[in-house]
Amino acid sequence: MQAKKKNLHINADYKSKFGFNVDAKYAFKSKKGLSEEVVRQISAMKHEPEWMLDFRLKAYETFKQKPTPTWGGDLSKINYDDIYYFVKPTDREERNWEDVPVEMKNTFDRLGIPEAERKHLAGVKAQFDSTVIYSSLMAELEEQGIIFLSTDEALQKHPEFFTQYFGKIIPPADNKFAALNSAVWSGGSFVYIPKGVKVKRPLQAYFRINAMNMGQFERTLIIADEGSEAHYTEGCTSPVYTEDSLHAAVVEVIVKKGARFRYTTIQNWSGDVYNLVTKRARVEEDAVMEWVDGNLGSRLTMKYPSCFLVGNGAHGEVLSIAYGGEGQHQDAGGKMIHIAPNTSSQIVSKSISANGGRTSYRGMIAVTPLAANAKSRVECDALILDSASASDTFPVMRIDNSSANIEHEATVSKIGEEKLFYLMSRGLTEAEAMSLIVSGFIEPVVRQLPLEYAVELNRLIELEMEGSVG
């Protein structure tokens, strides 16, 4: 059967939908490009302790020395000299909604998140450019002893956590972009969940990038103390720029004995953003860490959330959805490093490529000699929607223990003609049928999302597919 040319565009009309760029008043904007002076300036602006300045300067040296990775996607077009490394919209952090500048309120309105809904959610933190300007914490969170602040604010108020954990899970020398982030980081969230505290509602952060050529280098540090439980979510819809923009975040999570933590990200970057993120969790005895990761948009995403399973019985999971549309390359996956006995892990990855997009699954399962009785299961499925698109699978399984039980499976296919035919024979249009099949394909991951994210993601995919197929 002759495959009909499917003209499917997710994010094709991004500009009209999300592509606005309101004029924000910046209190401070560093000059373009990266130098020791810029790094010093950032640290000085934030009144940071001396050790953090040293940390940044060392990381800057590491960044200069580290070569650009030659695997993954094409990173050669990033121009580090054409990026603002620090932009501060207003002078102080806003806590009351009334104090938030009008342009920024408009931005949030355009995103369709009413204030009422935000109040309803526990502790919304919205990142407008490099500094968290809006943060509201519900009283009940504070009563439980939970700390949920911007990373900058937390460094001032709770330096003890930083000397102990900051940069310990992901040292600056880990990779070039972790080094860059370590040198110029700004914003991001700090979360501390005390021992035994169970947070029922997700902690939410909403990110925006809003200046031309502005890099976003947020830094997130999360500590889930013994026996605690929490869920952190973040989502992005960034406006369209004409020039390339760089997003290089670092997320460090420590899940202590018996704790359970889930980190959910849905990112929908505009088509010119390089999204190069390092995410890693240290998972201690009998603790559980889950990464739920949705990647839409961007020119190139390279992101492989990892779990270092360091305690007996630790468990790690990655659930990943990627959508690669026109001119996009999603290079995503996950890494599980089994270091202690009786550890287990699972990676489920679903990717869709369309309109010349490319999706790659890149993953690693490593079982060290000390990790007796490790179990791991990896499943990655890819859908290719048209002949211009492509998909890759690059898993590595390095098993240095004789008692391990490791499974990996991957499939690549198109939407089955027989499935389309069946649905169309039941009265659905081709677009509706395709949309339904795609929804079903990603459903195992979507059902793990908080309701509003699941609705948003499903709606986005449905809207984009309707009327553009045929």
Partner 1 sequence: MKVIFVKLQSDGVTTLIAENALYVLDFSGSKKGALNLVFEQEGVSAEIVGLYAVREKEHFDFETIATHKAPNTSCVTYVRGVLFDSGSSNYIGKILIDKRAQQTSSFLENNVLVVGNATHNNSQPILQIEADDVKASHGATTGRIDPSQVYYLQSRGLNAKESEELIVQGFFESLLAKISDEKIKSAVAANLGIKHA
- Interface residues with partner 1 (CB under 8 A)? 3, 369, 382, 384-387, 389-400, 402-414
Nearer to partner 1, 111 or 388 (CB): 388
Least Å distance between CB 206 and partner 1? 36
Q: Which is nearer to partner 1, 138 or 397 (CB)?
A: 397
Identity of the residue, 181 or 391, whose beta carbon is nearer to partner 1 in the bound complex = 391
Least CB distance from residue 403 to partner 1, whole Å? 5
What do you get for the CA distance between the two ends of the chain, in Å? 16
Q: How far is the CB of 7 from partner 1 (least distance, A)?
A: 13
Burial class (CB in 10 A: 0-12, 13-18, 19+), 17: middle
Please list, in sequence order, all residues whose beta carbon lies within 8 angstroms of the beta carbon of residue 143, skipping any fewer than 6 positions away: none
Rounded alpha-carbon distances, angstroms, from residue 58 to 49, 99, 161, 170, 277: 15, 37, 20, 14, 20
Whether the CB-CB separation of 146 and 191 falls below 8 Å is answered with yes
Least separation in angstroms between CB 401 and partner 1:
8
Please give the structure tokens belonging to residue 252.
Answer: 């460090």
Contact 332, 363 (CB under 8 A): no
Minimum Å distance from CB 289 to partner 1? Answer: 23
Contact 119, 108 (CB under 8 A): no
Asked if 286 and 311 touch (Cβ cutoff 8 Å), the reply is yes
Least distance in Å: CB of 169 to partner 1? 26
| Cβ closest to partner 1, residue 287 vs residue 406 | 406
Q: What are phi and psi of 466, to 5 degrees?
A: -65, 135
Comparing CB distances to partner 1, the nearer of 246 and 406 is 406
Residue 36: count other Cβ atoms within 10 Å of its Cβ: 13
Contact 170, 163 (CB under 8 A): no
Three-state SS letters, 248-315: CCEEEEEECCCCEEEEEEEEEECCCEEEEEEEEEEECCCCEEEEEEEEEECCEEEECCEEEECCCCCE
Least distance CB 360 / partner 1 (angstroms): 9
462: closest CA among 441, 438, 426? 438
- Beta carbon nearer to partner 1, 157 or 398: 398
What minimum distance in Å lies between the beta carbon of 317 and partner 1?
Answer: 19
Query: Toward partner 1, which CB reaches closer, 259 or 415?
Result: 415
112-129: burial string, b at 16+ Cβ within 10 Å, e else? ebeeeebeebbbbbbbbb
For the chain, the 3-state helix, strand and coil shares in percent, each to the nearest 5, are: 25, 35, 40
**CA–CA gap between residue 448 and residue 445 (Å, rounded):** 5
Kindly give the residue spans of alpha helices, DSSP state H, lying in 111-170: 115-120, 139-143, 151-157, 159-165
CB of 368 to partner 1, least distance (A): 11
Q: Which is nearer to partner 1, 6 or 125 (CB)?
A: 6
Q: Which is nearer to partner 1, 176 or 358 (CB)?
A: 358
Identity of the residue, 198 or 398, whose beta carbon is nearer to partner 1 in the bound complex: 398
Least distance in angstroms from the C-beta of 395 to partner 1? 6
